[in-house]
Homo-oligomer: A and B are copies of this chain.
């Protein structure tokens, strides 16, 4: 999984029927120090995340698992909202 921050929303009326009602959030992947990593992607939100929240998301095939429809064309899904990140001191 990767950490990310919710930075926006995508609106699309013309889409695959299985995606009707899905909330599409734009998330900026980041590391454990909250530094951005790569470019933002679009993820289905299954955890009820709000703007600016830190979340973690799964990508690829397993992103369909938290989604109610069996075979939705999804490759990224927010699955948890982060409360705290502990980094071990070396």
Q: Which residues on B sit within 8 Å (CB–CB) of A40?
A: 31-32
Interface of A is mostly: mixed
B75 touches A62 (CB 8 A): yes
| Contacting residues of chain A (35-77) with chain B, CB-CB under 8 angstroms | 37, 39-43, 46-48, 51-52, 56, 58-66, 71-77
Partner of A59, one of B75, B82, B86: B75
Measured CB to CB, the residues of A under 8 A from B are 1-3, 6-16, 18-19, 24, 26, 31-32, 37, 39-43, 46-48, 51-52, 56, 58-66, 71-77, 79-88, 90
Partner of A1, one of B13, B24, B52: B24
